[in-house]
Chains A and B, each alone.
Chain A
Amino acid sequence: MVKEEQEESSNRPDNTAFTQQRLPAWQPILSASIVIPMFLLIGAAFIGVGVALFITSRDIQLQELDYTGDDSEHPCFKCRTNTEKCTCSMTFSIPTLFKGPVFFYYGLTNYFQNQRKYGASKDDNQLYGDLNYFTSPSTDCDPYTRDSKNMPIVPCGALANSMFNDTFTLSHTVNGVQKIVPLDGKGIAWWTDYNIKYRNPSITPLINAFNGTKKPTNWPKPIYELDTTDVYNNGFINQDFLVWMRRAALPDFRKLYRRITHDDYAAGLPAGNYTLTIAYNYPVHSFNGKKKVVLSNVSWMGGKNDFLGIAYIVVGSMCVVMSVVMLIVYARFKFAEDV
């Protein structure tokens, strides 16, 4: 049939739903009776989620300790401007059981790890263990590509150079005796970072791979000595290094330092007094930064986050208010018409 038509007139357009713009289509016709309940429903759902989030977040325990030492009373005040090795300790008490698993974070404020040049100042190829980039690192790393003697720096770049190097020990005072709380440094970095993104050159011993290179200028020891006890935590795949290299999104951030998973503390930190001993190395006073230690447990939604819950409740309430306004507007028109 169609063929015949085509034969008699070649220019005749095809009579299909598409060409004639008659495609079957669903044309949802909205009305007030759909729109208003929809708004109400969405609003209610948002409020529900918000409340759930808020409650969950409230139940998360959080212990935050600022150890910057800006205050002269502060035990770490002495270390603030000290360039030498300096240790200070802070005590705090936990009134009730701090439910496990407990995560041990360090936090920095006013620290622009998301600065573009700073963030870009690394060489992904080098960190992937490509030896070619050991001898000639990418210019992205400037001015941390080579040292004053024109030796290539590995790992190059500002990001690596500024690696956080405070260390912490946490001890629990049990019957007046300080008992070290074992901190677990395994598995704090991302799986992909540890297994794929960062790699040591396949040369054993590792140190040989770094012949002819220099350590970053700020570092006390080269990368292949970050953890000499554990081959799988040394070099580029050192977990602390990996955590640092994963840039923070915003100037105030936390980074996971350790987890408390030891059998004695698997259920959490019991109530009591604790002492935090800090090897204070990292200078922050130049940019008015703060350094913190944060102990926190987690829920299904991760760490404590009141903002999300509140935001959900606010937006949900807005929807509900809007639906009420719509109802009033609708009723007024309805009313006016009926009259």
Chain B
Amino acid sequence: MSKEDVESGLTWEVKANSRHYHKHKQRKSFLCFTWGRYSDNVVRSHKYSLLTFLPLTLFEQFQRAANIYFLLMVVLQCVPAISSIPWYITIIPLLVVLSVRGLKDLASDMARRRCDSEINSRPCDVLVSQSFMTAQWKDVCVGDLLRIRRDQIIPADLLLLSSSEPHSLCYVETADIDGETNLKYRQALGATHNELTSHPSEEALGAFNGVVLCEEPNNRLYTFRGQLQWQGECFLLENEHVLLRGTVLRNTDFAYGLTIYTGADTKILRNCGKLRAKRTQLEEVFNKVVIGIVLSVLLAALLLAIGAGVFSYQVMTQTSFLSALVVDGNPAYNGFLVYWSYIILLSPAMPIALYITFEVIHTIHSKFIGWDLEMYWKQTDKPAEARNTSLSEELGQVGYLLSDKTGTLTQNRLLLRQCCIAGQIYGDASVRAEDVKPMDLSWNPFSSGGLRMFSPTLVETLRGQRCPVTTQFLSALALCHTVMAEWKEGSPVYQAASPDEETLVGAARELGWVFLSRTRDFVVVSELGATRQYQLLALLDFTSKRRRMSVLVRDPEGGLKLYCKGADVVILERLQKNCPHQESTEMALELFAEACLRTLCVAVRSVPEALWERWSETLALSAAMATCERDTLLEKLYDEMERDLLLLGVTAIEDRLQEGVPETIALLQEAGIRVWVLTGDKKETAVNIGYACRLLHPESRLLEWQELRQILQSADPQVSFFKAKQTELWATHKEMARAKTSVVLTGSELAEFEERPEWGASFMSLAEQCQSVLCCRVTPAQKAEIVKLVRKHTASITMSIGDGANDVNMIKTAHIGVGLAGREGGQAVHNADFAVSQFRFLQRLLLVHGRWSYRRISLFLRYFLFKTCGFALVHIWFGILNGFSAQSLYETWFIALYTVFYTAVPVMCMAFFEQDVSAESSLKFPELYKSGQKKELSSPRKLVTYLLYAVYMSLVLFFIPCGVFYNTAYDYQTMAVTVSMAATFAVTVEIVILTKYWTKFNIAALCVSVVMFFICTRITHSTRLFQSSPADYFFLGVSEKAFIDPVVWLTALLTAWTAVLPSVTFHAFNVILSVHNKHKIHNSSPPPVELTSRFARGSSLRRSSYAISQGAGPGRLIHSATSIQRAEALKEEKVSTSKKLRDI
């Protein structure tokens, strides 16, 4: 590696056909050490191996404070001097928690492992000593030469060496990388193409010994820098020469490539963020509460310990029968020991069972999502799936939905729904595409169905050849495009870089104008069965700036015609004066826009021979010019030619939305969720779809970058934002008063945000005001950046939904990631927390499952907190009356069984089945969802209130029985049973109050729990157990006596009722006040109906666009492949000469 290479950053060296060289340097790892340079081509998303499972899982689990805490408790309990309750009371639940959690992790890791191994064992052809052998993906090594067949997924980042197609072109589908489904072309270097295709390929490839120097692995999908050193020459390499892992080879029989990056080094895997464990906000709040409880417990224990010290000093040392019990006769030391004893005794206040119960509930909620028939998609036989089971309650709190466009909102199917020819509109877009009657096209042998336009008059006109404009229109569709035709089973199959073009050419074919084939200079079209050959004179390519394309052809009769199609604005300004049908066509454009159809204007120009000759001379001259000059000249030239056009008509294409998308978006917006669309697609397409799916309202104002920038730069963005809105208000119509604003941004504009981080906050505060935000042309990494921006500046829960590999990053970054199990690869689903088959299933996922889940879990957490704290804090009060000695007020078995048997099942049943309103009502009243967004049920204030309530309960639980038993002959054990009974009753009543939906399981659980209390108490107090171990079951016979004592019962009932009295009263008041509120809702008048005009004014509404892949179209390749060849050769020459110069 030379010094220059290091300087230029090209430090990644790949030697073709030298497996040993690279194998030697392969990255290996042991424990946490890694060495070596090149990673292998194995995907490892699993975490554990046989050896590492136990230590890793324990390490992970003990990162959870609660588990550490309980481990500490177990250790403490083993110290006899401070053990206030036996050690087994804590270790059993701890072990259960650890093992359940561990098994769960293991199971999900196994699933990941299976998924990985499926990917790793995909087949591919590797060149081994001059012949291709089928190997698995995981065996691919840097420097290997691979043969990719048609429709195969590319296993690693490759340098394209040659392909089976002319000029070593090849087509790839990048849907998994950027979400675009149109084909992209890649072309090998001229040098490699020439050398490697001339001989039998295996031999030539086997002898290939080029060395590639390129940049270190990175995540930039659209750039590649490198050079190939071969045969003493040096060739520059660009993105065009590289086939990325995850893309699919299309339309090309074979492509040969040199492996540059493998496995973790590939661009797509570099784009996938790290696997990150997600935690819900509620869980975080709850963790804080738990830490708060622990701190309070420590504080309480400290105070009690001080009390114990004082008591030891003042009372015990003076008291004959207790003095000997002061350890070492040292009150301070005694207090110190008591401190630890109290920590143990109060530890049940920190609910260990909570986490495990929490997980069980989460799992069940996830199951419910998977079981929902309404989210089951029959076509693909896929139910919804909760892949991450611990996020279900956040589904009920989503504030921002960030959605991908392609494949998520749209189906990726474009249909010609209407067209307007010579001012006459054909087809009806108000009928759903599925319901369109098929036309009788049996006269056309090339018809293959799939036209979703019903217009017999058009067919009649065409067949009768009555209207020359209509014929011209169809000719234009059949000629003016860059589609390639491929013959399969006697009929052409179209492959297009732009889905729009494919649709149009397909539609023309249905109507009898069949594009048959193209060569470099000719386009063959069958017009109503008559094959006509047009000479292709020039192809004026599409660029995003020109927004149009044209072909100049000589028809068989010898006439010169320029067919042009493009965005309406561009075409309309190039029409000849007094062009017929212009007005009616513009009307049609409005209509199509209203129906959210994508429009393209089609026009024609008869070119005089003289003009063509002059023009072609200039064109030939320009070919020899330097690139940048040439481009400007070409643009000018093209502009000259595309003038005085005659308007033929307009096509209206529907970008098929997925079923129910507009309704879903509307519903979600009603539910207070802000919907943002992030797409890699171009702006026009995105805006169009935005309108189609009601994300943008026809009346809403689009705030674009220039304006937004000004607002952001101003001193007070909020003020200037409203000012901008106001001027709008005065300037235009009254209806604008209600106008909503939507922001439209592109990726390059977003990049500015990174430079100006201070804009983030003000942008987000503006975005809060806006109805929606649309980001186009964003890379996967930028999508994730946007999610991060939202996460950073709002407290809301974000949800990302997408279907392709380009969405993986954003799916991982958001609080909740949803993968759409669509046609594109499973990458998104693989990384998502939830997988659904249809966008509209989000309705149910969020508004029904999410809302229920949030409510259930909030209630559950709140209740759990109450029942554990209320029951454990009793010991603080008891401490006052037992000399702060950490004496338990309960039998130890009660402490262990209380959380497990007596109180766990009813609250779990509530957390499984609770429904405040039915699923139907949840969808009918989306406003109900807002309570989750506002965290109404889980606010810290609510939790603190509940904690105070728990403290109150503990006070009641101790002091009422204390009052009853004070100065009586009742012994300690009877009191213990009484208080346990009261505690059980109180928490049972509390769950009865909370439960609003009583299934048979709830009722059974409740009854069983209460009965369990009596049975288990009797069992632990039984003779048999006592005889087997007198020291563990010393409560012998207590319950037998207590359960028939009226005073015990009366005390327990009174205590329980007093303990729940605040809650009962609160709920009773709620009932009374809610009756009142319901009346209010019914009485409130419906909002005034918004008056909107059917036809909006101004051309701003028109949405004409032309979706084509990034950058310029592929026209130049089709039309003038030779000239490209020449240009490439020139470039390569230049490079090699410069290299030579440097060498000198």
Chain A, Cβ-Cβ closest to B1033:
A124
A192 to B1025, alpha carbons, bound, how many Å?
A: 13
Contact code string A289-316 (vs B, CB < 8 Å = 1, else 0): 0000000000011110101100110010
CB–CB B1030/A20 < 8 A: no
Q: Tell me which residues across on chain B come within 8 A of A10, comparing CB atoms.
A: 381
Q: Does A51 contact B (CB under 8 A)?
A: no
Contact of A158 (CB < 8 Å), options: B324, B960, B1075:
B324
- CB 8 Å contact bits of B1057-1076 with A (1 = contact, 0 = none): 11001000101110111011
Given the contacts A13-B383, A307-B966, A112 and B1050 also touching, CB distance less than 8 Å: no
Among A80-137, those with CB < 8 Å from B are 105, 107, 109, 112-119, 121, 123-125, 127-128, 130
**CA–CA, A247 and B889, complex, Å:** 12
Known interface pairs A197-B1026, A251-B881, A252-B967. Does A287 touch B319 (Cβ–Cβ under 8 Å)?
yes
A31 B1071 Cβ-Cβ under 8 A: yes
Q: Is B1054 an interface residue (CB 8 A)?
A: yes
Confirm or deny: A330 has a beta carbon within 8 angstroms of a beta carbon on chain B: yes
> How far in angstroms is the closest Cβ of chain B from A58?
16
What mask results when residues 981 to 1004 of chain B are scored 1 for a CB within 8 Å of chain A, else 0? Answer: 000000000000000111111100
A196 contacts partner chain B, Cβ-Cβ < 8 Å: yes
Type the 1/0 row for B1031-1047, where 1 means its CB is closer than 8 Å to any CB of A.
10010110011000111
- How many angstroms from the CA of A31 to the CA of B1067 in the assembled complex? 11
Instruction: Tell me, rounded to whole Å, the shortest Cβ–Cβ distance linking A67 to chain B.
Output: 16
B321: contacting residue among A20, A118, A254, A305, CB under 8 A: A118
Task: Name the segment of A21-29, A146-154, A175-183, A224-232 touching the other chain.
Answer: A21-29
Q: Do residues A246 and B971 form an inter-chain contact, with CB atoms below 8 A?
A: yes
Would A253 and B969 count as touching, CB distance under 8 A? yes
Please determine whether B1037 and A254 come into contact, CB atoms closer than 8 angstroms. Answer: no
In the complex, the answer to whether A27 meets B1075 with C-beta atoms within 8 Å is: no
How far, in whole Å, are A130 and B1027 apart by their CA atoms in the complex? Answer: 11
Q: Chain A CB within 10 Å — which of B919, B968, B1046 has the most?
A: B968
Contact A116 B1076 (CB under 8 A): no
Interchain CB contact under 8 A, B882 and A116: yes
Chain B: interface secondary structure?
Answer: helix
Complex contact B1037–A192 (CB within 8 A): yes
Interface residue from B315, B383, B1072, B1076 paired with A287 (Cβ < 8 Å): B315
A31 & B325 in contact (Cβ 8 Å cutoff): no
Q: Is B511 an interface residue (CB 8 A)?
A: no
Q: A118 and B322: CB pair below 8 A?
A: yes
Question: Does B998 contact A25, Cβ atoms closer than 8 Å?
Answer: yes
Task: From the candidates A13, A192, A287, name the one contacting B1040 in the complex (CB within 8 A).
Answer: A192
Q: How large is the interface on B (under 10, 10 to 19, 20 to 34, 35 or more residues)?
A: 35 or more
| Mask: chain B, 1002-1033; 1 = CB below 8 Å from A; 0 = not | 10000000000000000000010011001100
Instruction: Name the B residues within 8 Å of A105 (CB-CB).
Output: 969
Q: Which residue of A lies closest to B1077 (CB)?
A: A333
Roughly how many angstroms separate A247 CA and B883 CA in the complex, as a whole number?
15
Tell me whether A254 and B324 are in contact in the complex, defined as CB-CB below 8 angstroms, given that A12-B376, A112-B315 are known contacts: no
Do the beta carbons of B322 and A112 come within 8 Å of each other? yes
Given known contacts A115-B887, A287-B318, A25 and B1065 CB-to-CB distance under 8 angstroms: no
B376, A13: Cβ atoms under 8 Å? yes
- The digit string for B967-982, where 1 denotes a CB below 8 A from any CB of A, is 1111111111000000
| Contact in complex: B882, A125 (CB < 8 Å) | no
Tell me which residues across on chain B come within 8 A of A329, comparing CB atoms: 1069, 1072-1073
B888 and chain A: residue at smallest CB distance? A116
Cβ contacts B383-402/A at 8 Å (1 or 0 each): 10000000000000000000
B319 to nearest A CB, angstroms?
Answer: 4
The reply to whether B84 and A255 contact each other, CB–CB distance below 8 Å, is no
Q: Are A53 and B381 in contact (CB under 8 A)?
A: no
| Contacting pair B970 A192 (CB below 8 A) | no
Q: Assuming A252-B967, A308-B1051, is B1079 touching A138 (CB within 8 A)?
A: no
Do residues A117 and B1047 form an inter-chain contact, with CB atoms below 8 A? no
Measured CB to CB, the closest approach of chain B to A179, in angstroms, equals 27
Chain A residues near B1034: list those with CB within 8 A: 124, 197
Inter-chain CA distance A330–B1076, complex, in Å, is: 8
Q: Are B1031 and A255 touching (Cβ within 8 A)? A: no
Q: Which residues of the other chain, A, contact B1065 by a CB distance below 8 angstroms?
A: 322
Q: In the complex, what residues of B have CB within 8 A of residue A319's CB? A: 1061
Distance A113 CA – B341 CA, assembled complex (angstroms): 18
Contacts of A12 in B (CB 8 A): 373, 376, 378, 381, 383
Measured CB to CB, the nearest residue on chain A to B1041 is A190
Tell me whether B372 is interfacial, beta carbon within 8 Å: yes
- The listed residue (A30, A118, A255) touching B325 by CB distance below 8 A is A118
The verdict on A212 contacting chain B, using a C-beta distance below 8 Å, is no
Q: Tell yes or no: B906 within 8 A of A by CB.
A: no
Q: How far is the CB of A132 from chain B (nearest CB, A)?
A: 12
Identify which of A112, A286, A301 contacts B320 (C-beta below 8 A): A286
Q: Which residue of B316, B919, B966 contacts A250 across the interface (Cβ within 8 Å)? A: B966
Chain A nearest CB from B365 CB (Å) reads 10
Are A32 and B886 in contact (CB-based, < 8 A)? Answer: no
Best-buried of A10, A250, A302 by chain B (most CB within 10 Å): A250
Q: Which of A114, A144, A333 contacts B881 (CB 8 A)?
A: A114
Q: A254-B969, A315-B1054 are in contact. Are A21 and B960 (CB under 8 A)?
A: no
Chain B residues closer than 8 Å to A275, beta-carbon distance:
none
Q: Taking the complex as formed, is A211 at the interface, i.e. its CB lies under 8 A from any CB of chain B? A: no
Inside 8 A of B970's CB, which chain A residues have their CB?
Answer: 249
Q: CB-CB < 8 A to A13: which residues of B?
A: 370-373, 376, 383
Contact A308 B1050, CB 8 Å, known A23-B999, A116-B341, A252-B966: yes
A130 to B1046, CA, bound (A): 36
- The reply to whether B971 and A247 contact each other, CB–CB distance below 8 Å, is yes
Question: A49 on the interface (CB 8 Å rule)?
Answer: yes
Interface contact A333-B968, CB-CB below 8 Å: no
Q: Does any Cβ of A come within 8 Å of B913's Cβ?
A: yes
Contacts of B1054 in A (CB 8 A): 46, 308, 311-312, 315
- B963 on the A face (CB < 8 A): yes
Q: Which residue of B lies closest to A20 (CB)?
A: B373
A115 touches which one: B84, B882, B975, B1076 (CB < 8 A)? B882
Q: Are A21 and B966 in contact (CB under 8 A)?
A: no
Contact B319 A286 (CB under 8 A): yes
Q: Closest residue to A121 on the B side, CB-wise?
A: B325
List residues of chain A with CB within 8 A of the CB of B1026. Answer: 196-197
B882 touches A112 (CB 8 A): yes
B915 interfacial contact with A, CB 8 Å: yes
Report whether B1069 and A326 are in contact in the complex, using a CB–CB cutoff of 8 Å.
yes
Q: What distance in Å separates the Cβ of B364 from its nearest Cβ neighbour in chain A?
A: 11
Residue of B nearest to A144 (CB): B324
- With known contacts A118-B325, A249-B965, A254-B968, A301–B371 Cβ distance under 8 A: no
Instruction: Scan B1099-1122; emit 1 where CB is below 8 A from any A CB, else 0.
Output: 000000000000000000000000
Indicate if B964 sits at the interface (CB-CB under 8 A). Answer: yes
B1068–A39 touching, CB < 8 Å: yes
Q: Output the least CB separation between A6 and chain B (Å).
A: 11
Give 23 pairs: A residue, B residue, CB < 8 Å, sorted on A.
A10-B381, A12-B373, A12-B378, A19-B371, A21-B913, A26-B998, A39-B1068, A42-B1057, A112-B319, A112-B885, A114-B882, A124-B1034, A158-B325, A193-B1037, A249-B971, A253-B968, A253-B969, A256-B969, A307-B963, A307-B964, A315-B1058, A330-B1075, A333-B1076
Q: Rank and list the top 9 A-B pairs by shortest CB-CB distance, nearest first.
A: A192-B1037, A162-B321, A19-B371, A249-B975, A116-B887, A116-B885, A124-B1030, A287-B319, A249-B972
* Extra inter-chain contacts (19) besides given A21-B913, A116-B341, CB under 8 Å: A13-B372, A24-B999, A35-B1072, A36-B1072, A114-B882, A114-B883, A115-B322, A116-B886, A161-B321, A196-B1037, A249-B974, A250-B965, A251-B882, A287-B318, A311-B963, A312-B1054, A315-B1054, A319-B1061, A333-B1072
- Mark A residues whose CB is within 8 Å of B: 9-15, 19-21, 23-28, 30-32, 35-36, 38-39, 42, 46, 49, 53, 105, 107, 109, 112-119, 121, 123-125, 127-128, 130, 138-139, 143-144, 158, 161-162, 190-193, 196-197, 246-256, 283, 286-287, 300-303, 305, 307-308, 311-312, 315, 318-319, 322, 326, 329-330, 333, 337
